[in-house]
Amino acid sequence: MFWRFFKRSAKIRLDALVVGLGNPGKEYESTRHNIGFDIVDSFRDQLGFNSFEKKRNYIYSYGEFNKIKIALVKPQTYMNNSGEIFKQLAANYEFELSNILIVHDDLDLSLGDLRFRRKGSSGGHNGLKSIEKYLKTTEYGRFKFGIGRKKNVSVIEYVLSRWNEGEKVEVVEGIQRALLGLENWVVNPGCRELLNNSLKKSNKE
């Protein structure tokens, strides 16, 4: 399915649109809910793309990797309004729904576990709910980073908290695996259904 409704001749046609979810502002940096931002930041560093630039309600970094045109995007709308960026994105780029990948935190996965899904429900994630509202479909890719849950702590308090010292090693290791997964997703679109095989934690025993 291609968004021809928004097509304009001057727009760049993307091969990959990678959107990391999070909240803007210093007070949210390095929180669990901002892992999508952190992964996309690291992916930009790995690809050697230029610094992020402001474009209305999002910041972006555009470049080419192996002749693949990629836009890395971080919404500046706050998590619950993440979907609002797609109106502006569609005005600036051409892209297929199958080439969208949303990188986000997931409470239902253990810390550092990674999952790729080609489509599916929001799972209660407010950022995904907003995206589904604007795209009017659930058929877009999701790249999930597990943050786990904590008993006797509200969801809001937990997702807006920062990693403790004991978790940081797993987070760093998880981000490294995520970067390999993102590169595979970008470079090998025909093999995306097999991506989860490369996302598993290594056996350190």
> Within a 13 Å sphere around the CA of 132, how many CA atoms are in the beta-carbon half?
16
- Name the amino acid, one letter, at 176: Q
CA atoms of 50 and 62, how far apart (whole Å): 7
Element (H, E) at 54: strand 53-55
Tell which residue, 97, 101, 96, has the closest CA to residue 40. 101
Beta-carbon contacts of residue 178 (< 8 Å; ≥ 6 apart) = 39, 42, 103, 114, 143, 145, 199
Residue of 33, 125, 142, 177 marked active site: 33
The verdict on whether 33 is a catalytic residue reads: yes
Residues belonging to the active site: 33
